[in-house]
């Protein structure tokens, strides 16, 4: 079993369990974003915007980055033929996050669109990169087109989905802690309800259960 300090259920409930989307709902979002990015006939500006949203969504669900980390990614953060991204998180702590094939493929295509740029998602803003509010607004609009209520969808919700779906698949909590960039395991323990559910499922599959 996973080895990590326990916290009382009341403590977790006081903080509130994170909102998440199902694997199916995230899959529908990814599929819609991908299909919209392939539509021909849009203006160059509109086509670039939908392709950017597709890349943002793929990267977010593949890595669980904080939205500020995601929109502020620099070109130099992409490592080793786009298989990894080097993240500088809170407190200047660095972590290396791997990419799955889907995220890597769209990222490689996107790099051809923004060659020579300092940021992966450049914009005419004070920061020089896409503002997180713009991404959040575009994400909610995509969710509406995928029949997902706006109140249930935000970049942070997808970060939660990343972590919860990994744990549902059997990932170790400390691995998830590293990927999320949490300095303390207690922060990651908000997801222990997912582990509890997973353990109940495993017990239910025991040949002598029931």
Angle at the Cα of 142 (from 148 to 157), degrees rounded to 5? 60
Model confidence over 167-198: pLDDT tens digits?
Answer: 888 888 999 999 999 999 888 888 876 666 65
Token pair for 101: 């094939």
pLDDT-based confidence at 58, cuts 50/70/90?
Answer: very high
3-state secondary structure of 87: strand
Catalytic residues, by residue number, are: 66, 90, 156, 159, 182, 191
Rounded Cα–Cα distance for residues 60 and 120 (Å): 13
pLDDT-based confidence at 26, cuts 50/70/90?
Answer: very high
Q: Provide the sign of the torsion angle of the four alpha carbons 33, 35, 37, 41, taken in this order.
A: negative
Instruction: Work out whether strand 84-88 and strand 94-98 pair parallel, antiparallel, or are unpaired.
Output: antiparallel
Rounded Cα–Cα distance for residues 51 and 38 (Å): 8
Angle at the Cα of 92 (from 88 to 95), degrees rounded to 5? 40
pLDDT-based confidence at 200, cuts 50/70/90?
Answer: low
Token pair for 28: 């529908």
Q: What is the pTM of this model?
A: 0.84
Per-residue model confidence (pLDDT) at position 10: 44
> What DSSP character marks residue 208?
T
Q: Which of 14, 53, 12, 21 minimizes the C-alpha distance to 136? A: 53
Rounded Cα–Cα distance for residues 82 and 181 (Å): 20
Model confidence over 62-92: pLDDT tens digits?
Answer: 999 999 999 999 999 999 788 999 999 988 8
Phi, then psi, of 37 in degrees rounded to 5: -70, -20
Rounded Cα–Cα distance for residues 49 and 126 (Å): 19
pLDDT-based confidence at 120, cuts 50/70/90?
Answer: very high
Per-residue model confidence (pLDDT) at position 2: 42
């Amino acid at each position: 079993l996973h080895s990590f300090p326990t916290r009382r259920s009341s403590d977790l409930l006081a903080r509130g369990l994170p909102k998440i989307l199902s694997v199916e709902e995230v899959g529908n979002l990814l599929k819609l974003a991908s299909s919209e990015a392939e539509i021909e006939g849009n203006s160059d500006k509109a086509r670039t915007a939908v392709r950017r949203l597709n890349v943002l969504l793929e990267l977010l669900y593949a890595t669980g980055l904080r939205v500020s980390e995601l929109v502020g990614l620099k070109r130099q953060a992409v490592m080793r033929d786009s298989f990894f991204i080097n993240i500088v998180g809170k407190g200047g702590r660095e972590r290396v996050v791997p990419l799955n094939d889907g995220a890597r493929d769209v990222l490689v295509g996107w790099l051809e669109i923004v060659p020579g740029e300092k940021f992966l998602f450049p914009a005419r803003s004070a920061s020089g990169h896409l503002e997180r509010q713009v991404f959040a607004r575009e994400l909610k609009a995509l969710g509406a087109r995928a029949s997902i209520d706006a109140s249930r969808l935000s970049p942070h919700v997808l970060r939660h989905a990343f972590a919860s779906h990994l744990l549902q698949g059997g990932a170790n909590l400390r691995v998830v802690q590293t990927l999320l960039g949490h300095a303390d395991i207690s922060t990651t323990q908000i997801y222990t309800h997912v582990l509890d559910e997973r353990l109940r499922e495993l017990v239910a599959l025991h040949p002598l259960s029931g």
